[in-house]
Amino acid sequence: MDSALHDSSTIDEQAHLGDAPGAANASLEALILISSLLAGGDCIADAARVRAASTGPCSVGSCTRQLGQGDRWIRARLYFVWSILRTRHRDLTALITRIRIRYRYPLILLRAMVITDFKLRYQASLLGYLWTILRPLAIFSILYIVFVKFLRLGASTPYFPVYLLFGIVVWGFFVEATSQGLTTLVARADLLRKISFPRYVLILSVAASVLISFALNMLVIAFFMVLMSVPVRVDVLWLPLLFLELVALSISLAFFLSALYVRFRDLNYIWEVCMQAAFYAVPILYPLTLIPARYARILILNPMAQIIQDARYVLVTPETETISQLYSTPWVRVIPVGITIVLVVASVIYFRRQSASFAEEA
């Protein structure tokens, strides 16, 4: 390939600017090189053929014939390149069609489970779906009165009510997705025994249902931001990536915990205690600046702490202390992100290996 490109550059150096047939042949050779590379053919032989066609004397008649021949070669090569691109487009379309056919049944089942779960969640309650918004607001009100009004936490943090509420909402999504995902295989053991379907659909249905509640809570966050005149900065464009990391972390732990819970039923109580302890270990109620720097550097390596602090930084206030500020380099963010990626890969592998025995052991 390198020799072909060298030959092409040599031809361009030898071409005259005023020679119309030479310019046409130079363009023709460049097109032949590109199309030959796409086709996997002998591009050197094609380049030599064009060079031989352009070396003779150029009278008016011969120039006209060479231009006509060059136009035919260009049209032929353009059609050849277009046919290759069309073939690759057909292959891509066929691949997408195969993926849609393969996952059509799981997607239909996932949609039905999400709708059913969201309808049944607050069916017998008086306020119904309002509890999706009222519950985090009630928790926020209690924590705000105790830790802000009485203990005077967060007095130096701008827009601290939004800062606190946003942390509670993000943490609430993580807790609900993992806690509900942990028990879903055992809770739907009858369904596992009666119907053959991909087991991961159960975990994804729980995550999707919790994600709907999370989206509604984000509307409340937006309302408070408008109410308190929180400025929206361009950094908010990073928020979808942080939410993607949050969803990946939550679903991966849900996969892993649900597969473990099928055999170890004590895991539910252990995870509940862990979540209570982590609620105070992760900087949700307090700014990270209240912790000594040597401990804060260890704490921020927790993926949830990194996600919450980064999300607060891009959405609420730039005075939020993040992992890149504690370590004076943005590259350290690779550690919590890497932990999340490892959890995703490990949980998927473990879930697939154990899925064959879910129906018998659940």
pLDDT tens per residue across span 76-91: 666 666 677 677 667 6
Asked if residue 179 lies in contact with residue 272, where contact means CB atoms within 8 angstroms, the answer is: yes
Contact, 340 vs 252, CB < 8 A? yes
What is the C-alpha separation between 321 and 312, in angstroms, rounded?
9
Q: What is the pLDDT of residue 16?
A: 41
Which DSSP helix (H) or strand (E) runs through 156? none
Angle of the 200-227 helix axis to the 160-187 helix axis, nearest 10: 160
Q: Could you tell me which residue, 64 or 206, shows the higher pLDDT?
A: 206
Based on DSSP, count helices (H) and strands (E) in the chain, helices before strands: 16, 0
Q: Exposed e or buried b for every residue in 297-312, given b needs 16+ CB within 10 A?
A: eebbbbbbbbbbbbbb
pLDDT at 9 over 50: no
pLDDT value, residue 34: 47
How far apart CA 161 and CA 167 sit, in angstroms, is 10
Closest CA to 8 of 63, 47, 50: 47
- Provide the mean pLDDT of the chain: 78
Distances (CA, A) of 33 to 1, 24, 46: 9, 14, 7
**What pLDDT is attached to residue 207?**
92
CA–CA gap between residue 47 and residue 29 (Å, rounded): 6
How many CA within 13 A on the CB side of residue 76? Answer: 10
Task: Evaluate if residue 35 carries a pLDDT over 80.
Answer: no
Residues 31, 72: Cα–Cα separation, whole Å: 12
| Between 290 and 239, residue with greater pLDDT | 239
8 A C-beta contact, residue 28 and residue 74: yes
The pTM for the full model equals 0.72
pLDDT, tens digit, 9 for 90 and up, residues 313-326? 999 989 888 999 99
Look at residue 120 in the predicted model and tell me its pLDDT. Answer: 74
Dump pLDDT digits (tens) for 193-249: 888 888 889 999 999 989 988 998 898 899 889 988 889 999 999 999 999 999 999
Q: What is the pLDDT of residue 70?
A: 53
Give percent of the chain with pLDDT exceeding 90: 32
Helices 200-227/239-261 angle, 10° precision: 140
Please give the residue that has the higher pLDDT: either 311 or 51: 311
- For residue 179, what pLDDT band results from cuts at 50, 70 and 90? very high
| Cα 302 from Cα 340, distance rounded (Å) | 10
